[in-house]
A = this chain, B = another copy of it.
Amino acid sequence: MASDQKPADLETETTETTKAVEEPPRPPKSTSLDKCVTVDVVLRVVLFAATLTSLLVLVTSNQSKHRPVIGSPLAVVEAKFNHSPAFIYLAAAASVTCLYSIITILASISVLLKPAFNTSFLIFFAIWDVVILGVMASATGAAGAVAYIGLKGNRHTSWAKVCNVYDKFCQHLAGSIAVALFASIVLVFLIVLSVLSLHKKIPK
């Protein structure tokens, strides 16, 4: 059987060599690693959109109300996101993550075009994604905790709720925090993808 197959193999090889000489080099076929990089680019675009949305919704949350204040019966009182350090932290974290996502989208696209740098970029992405996840998750937690006090108040510390007055402000905060939470989950998926891509490169 083996001796029967040999001439056929030789023929195929000769045809392939002729083809290689005649035809210009074709780009390699899409591998599972290329697919991982494509998913990586898509997730990073989603991350960019999510952080930008979270940031815009947060910074446009300002709301003015006419309320009686000591000394002036109908003063204008404003609710701004920068009245609380937790919301400033969320805005800073969303800005940093948004900028980071732009840089890594470009880097991921460059990996798609030049797969030789694949492993170095995977390591770089995985490590920085972890740091950015830590920042985004803590900012989401901080903003969520303050927003919860604003919504429900805390009778033990006599902190009154404010969301019954500043409804639009609180709706913006809730939207921004929900999208920031979504961005954190996207970051978790990005790190898992990097780890699985690294795993695929290890020979069995």
**A residues neighboring B (CB under 8 Å):** 1-2, 79-80, 83-86, 89, 119, 123, 126-127, 130-131, 133-135, 137-146, 148-150, 154, 156-160, 162, 184-185, 188, 191-192, 194-196, 198-199, 201-203
* New A-B contacts (17) at CB < 8 Å, excluding given A133-B134, A150-B157: A79-B156, A86-B141, A89-B141, A119-B199, A127-B192, A130-B188, A137-B138, A138-B144, A139-B141, A142-B142, A142-B145, A146-B149, A158-B160, A159-B160, A191-B191, A198-B198, A198-B199
Q: Which residues of B contact A156 (CB under 8 A)?
A: 79-80, 83-84
Copies, count: 2
- Bound: A144/B138 CA distance, A: 9
Q: Which residues of B contact A89 (CB under 8 A)?
A: 141, 145
- Bound: A177/B149 CA distance, A: 19
What are 9 A-B pairs at a CB distance below 8 A?
A: A89-B145, A119-B199, A123-B196, A134-B137, A134-B184, A134-B188, A138-B138, A138-B141, A138-B184
Are A157 and B162 in contact, with the CB atoms below 8 A?
Answer: yes
Q: Which residues of B contact A191 (CB under 8 A)?
A: 126, 130, 191
- Asked, given contacts A83-B157, A202-B119, whether A133 binds B142 with beta carbons under 8 Å apart, the answer is no
Residue among B2, B126, B149, B192 making CB contact with A159, cutoff 8 Å: B149
* Across the A-B interface, the 8 shortest Cβ-Cβ residue pairs: A138-B141, A141-B141, A142-B145, A141-B142, A137-B137, A83-B156, A86-B145, A159-B159
